[in-house]
Structure 1
């Protein structure tokens, strides 16, 4: 994606089902869990580079001994920074008492981060909320072991105000208005209720030994019930992992399956992560053995090692985030790789028509590197056309073909070139806008001498066009210098028209070039009354229950065809001094669904939000835009 869009976040979870000595004997180190957690997090570093955190819990620790360890970092390479911090502790042991590094029991007794339950998190910060306090995992601490709670997640809730009100009604006073706090405190409240209920029950049944009761509570805690009560009013997309102080753990996924969650377990380990390839690579596990956690379900790991997948909320129609497939998740996932190639292939008919099937005078390329897989699919589609063309020319003839014609037909092939290379991330430290724009224009290096001046059409694939800022400030200027007659910018994703409120940092209407194009067309055609009408409906819906609200912003786009909006986008993003004709082509929604049939979450393209809170968010975002408020429409 040429425009940087941040994505929240990545989760990594490991539960060792055997004693540490088992891993020392089998794998040669009692730090097997830590080593694997590091790999699991590094293989997901694409999901968050603003901060990271790790927490571990030791099982069956004597009173007075620390059993929860946590460290968070906002360093430029946060994951490495965290594990360097942890590694230093063991390096000192190796230096002073090398034999102790092989003594699993001693390590657990004396060293932090030697727990059997490990949780890691990678984070992207949004809207200035980037501090060490914002980094997961979060802790809710208590002297009762069973009331301690550690959580980390990839989530956004659309109804934070409603959830906060529920906490007030429960008698709580949260320290912050944020979905992380509401989630932590909501689970914490029902955790407290479960513990107290079990305590009272065992007292009534005649058990007077409080130490014995504590163990009985840990053995009998109903984690699924806690999650059912906690998530009752949640509206959002989420994958949330949690550990209770005594060792029970869970990984829960929202009812629409918006955010991704994968898992694997056998008799020695339980693993969960936001991305499947991370598990495959870190543990060398075949793809077919890794499961997707079902929407509305939680993978629950009891302290005794029992693993179940329990429903905590009624599953809805599955609307897994299609942006995960187009851009965010790593393309090393086999199914994502196939889907991205298919997105490129499906663009081919439109592109061939746009260049009048003139392969001789068309150069095919892509920007940025994340578009490479879709580009392979696009080239495959062009090559398929070439083979069909050759077949038709050679077989469907009544006369004999000349050597010259034969040579021309056989040599026909797409001209595939690497036109632009992102050479270095330049720091635009100069304050003046004009100077900063000049610096941005040098982020990419170009390959000169490949384009025939005023003759060639240059087709450049991007995986998504959101704001169009980088295209206007940098890429189109660079491409125009090469001297093409025409530049076709192609997006393997459809037009992004609406904000996301489930975990992607796309939350303000004014950020979308498609929205800017629609507004421009409305003003040009003297239909500003429609803008005011939508504003009134959105404004009136602010205090209406979310279940009764529609997405009124859809009306902004209805007067225009997709191509009319694409043509206006081309006009908006084209720098004034550009000599080449610029055309913009977007993927269609139908093609997106064909390419990603199991991941139909397309609300940022279609406006069809998978939860009622999404409609509230998009309407509020429009109100914010109309009123000049530069803020996101959810907490």
Structure 2
């Protein structure tokens, strides 16, 4: 992606189903869980550049001994920093007495992070200050073991105001107005309720307090806690939590917006945000890794019992298509094929734009995430070329050797022209100088384009703001002297804000929105902006279930092609000589390529939860009012 945007966080959960001594005997280490947690997090490092954290819980610890360990980091390489910190503890043990590293029970009794329940998180902040307090896992502490709560997740809620008010009504006073705090406190509240209910029940039955603690741990109804906690949540989420005594859960939103996968055998249960991370870390086949169903939660009891339970009625599945286009790593077998298909489906449109002239067209891609869709485009072009060769051979009975060679040598011209200089940094503070430096973030390969003859086609996986194209890529491509530059997006036009975890919350950030507004004004239709604003304003106090997305009316007067043409004008630097065109994927093609991930609200405006419509209208009003703020908390 040429325009960098922050996006979904990642989770890694492990529950060891055997005693630590089992892993010592079978795998030669009592640190089996920690080693696997490290692998799961490293294999998902693409999901968190702003920080990371881990927490572990030891089962059946004697009173007076620490059983919860947590460490978070905001270092540049946060995962490595965390595990360096943790492993220093074991290095110190080895230095003192190497034999102790073979004693699983001694390690559990004496060294932190040797628990059977492990939770990791990778943070990609979508808003607000980036501080250690914002890093998951979050911890809600209590002297009662079964009232302690550790939570980490990949989520955004659209109705934080409503959730905060519910906490106020319960008598709580949360320290922050953030969805992470509201979620933690909501679960914590009903965890407290469940504990108190069980305490009162067993007290009436004559049990003493020590016995009651154990009875609560055995009888805690995790599903009831989750049902009551999530009853009014509106958002996308994959969330994992651990209670202090050892019960745990991994839950997924009712529309399946955020991804969640798991694997289970007789030794371990593991859950993560991406399937290949589990496959690699545990060396299992793709068919062994399952998807947590929307509206369901994996519930892992302290005794090792594991069930998948429905905590909310599932909605129509709207799994995030951006996960497939860009966010998730392309090492997933299905994602790899889907990205190739996205590129392949663009072939007919691209051929029309270059008049089917492969001899005078050079194809390339914007590194690095568009590479796979580029392979798909190449498959489509080669298929077209084979058909063209076949037709030429079948329809000409008197070919000379020279003509035959020409036909057989026909092939798409494929080159690597864009090179991202990831290490180039801008140290200059003056705007003019900084702009010149930014233009050199990408470099190019010279001598491959015939000046004033060739057309250059470059595929990107998506175009959000278009700023990098305008400031860097198009300028550099123009130095090669092409007649025309065609930028192709394997994703449709991004028109609406996301409110479920992607850092796309402001209308003014979308070049498609800028194009539509520009055309409204150019065509004397500026009144549409004011009319849409008034309609959005009139819905402010309505329940989210009754709100309609009126921002769709901004785009309604124009065809997709008209908006694409205006985008081409907007992103074209004034000084370049080549003509610039922009091609976008269609929604139909997106759904054909990614049939099981039909969440497309950032393209279509069709939000999977009621809170989405409220957010998009608020985002539009913020833009009209000149407020540089995101439309949800």
TM-score (ref. length: structure 1): 0.99
Matched, 1:432 2:424: no
In structure 1, distance between residues paired with 2:233 and 2:327: 24
- Name the SS for the 1:360 alignment partner: coil
Alignment partner of 1:624 is 2:622: yes
**Conserved 8 A contact 1:147-1:192:** yes
User: 1:464-479 alignment to 2 at 5 Å?
Assistant: 464-479=462-477
Separation (CA, whole Å) in 1 of partners of 2:563 and 2:207: 73
CA–CA distance in structure 2, aligned partners of residues 141 and 540 of structure 1:
43
Q: Deviations over 1:238-287 (max 9, x none)?
A: 00000000000000000000000000011110000000000001110110
Matches within 5 A, 1:517-532: 517-532=515-530
After TM superposition, list the pairs within 5 Å mapping 1:345-360 onto structure 2: 345-360=344-359
Superposed counterparts of 1:547-566, under 5 Å: 547-566=545-564
The corresponding residue for 1:28 is 28
Equivalences for 1:323-334 in 2 at 5 Å?
323-334=322-333
| Equivalent pairs, count | 633
2:604: which partner in 1? 606
Tell me the distance in 1 between the aligned counterparts of 2:460 and 2:256.
Answer: 27
- C-alpha RMSD over aligned residues: 0.7
Aligned residue runs from structure 1 range 101-180, under 5 A = 101-180=101-180
Return the offset for 1:400.
Answer: 1.9
Structure 1 runs of 4+ off > 6 angstroms? none
Match of 2:453 in 1: 455
Equivalence map 1:357-506=2 (5 Å):
357-397=356-396, 399-506=397-504
Corresponding residue number in structure 2 for 1:516: 514
**What do the CA deviations read for 1:184-230 (whole angstroms, capped 9, x no partner)?**
000000000111111111122x2331111111111111101100000
Structure 2 Cα separation of the partners of residues 443 and 88 of structure 1: 38
Question: Matched residue of 2:238: which SS?
Answer: strand
5 Å matches for 1:91-110?
Answer: 91-110=91-110
Q: SS in structure 2 opposite 1:369?
A: coil
- Aligned pair partner of 1:584 in 582, 585, 590: 582
**Aligned mates of 1:30, 1:542 — CA distance in 2:** 56
Query: Where does the alignment leave 5 or more consecutive residues of structure 2 unmatched?
Result: none
Rounded Cα–Cα distance in structure 2 between residues aligned with 1:578 and 1:538: 40
Residue 13 of structure 1 aligns to a residue in which SS? strand
For the residues of structure 1 that align with 2:518 and 2:35, how far apart are their CA atoms?
54
Aligned residues of 2:238 and 2:251 also touching (Cα < 8 A): yes
TM-score (normalizing by structure 2): 0.99
Using the alignment, how far apart are the partners of 2:439 and 2:480 within structure 1? 14
Distance in 2, matches of 1:31 and 1:497, equals: 48
Distance in 2 (CA, whole Å) between partners of 1:38 and 1:456 is: 49
* Inter-partner Cα distance in structure 1 for 2:304 and 2:581: 58
Instruction: Tell me, yes or no, if structure 1 residue 546 matches structure 2 residue 534.
Output: no
* 1:389 CA drift (Å): 0.8
Query: What whole-Å deviation, never above 9, does each CA across 1:275-322 have from its counterpart, x for those lacking one?
Result: 000000111011000000000000010000000000000000000000
In structure 2, distance between residues paired with 1:499 and 1:14: 34
Provide the residue aligned with 1:16 in structure 2: 16
- 2: distance between equivalents of 1:24 and 1:253? 33
1: CA distance, partners of 2:541 / 2:432: 43
Secondary structure (helix, strand or coil) at the match of 2:122 reads strand
Aligned to 2:286: 287
CA separation in 2, counterparts of 1:375 and 1:156? 32
Q: Is the 8 A contact 1:263 1:272 kept in 2?
A: yes
Q: 1:39 corresponds to which residue? A: 39
1:568 has 2:566 as partner = yes
Q: 1:137·1:152 contact (CA, 8 Å) conserved in 2? A: yes
Aligned with 1:359: secondary structure?
coil
Deviation at 1:430, TM superposition (A): 1.4
Post-superposition shift, 1:429? 2.2
Whole-angstrom CA distance in 2 between matches of 1:542 and 1:119? 39
Matches within 5 A, 1:209-228: 209-228=208-227
1:247 corresponds in structure 2 to 246
Q: 1:80 maps to what in 2? A: 80
Residue 128 of structure 1 deviates from its aligned partner by 3.6
Helix, strand or coil at the partner of 1:421: strand
Distance in 2 of aligned mates of 1:497 and 1:382? 29
The answer for the alignment partner of 1:62 in structure 2 is 62
Three-state SS of the structure 2 residue aligned to 1:282 is helix
- Other structure's SS at 2:369 match: helix
The offset of 1:442, in angstroms, is 1.1
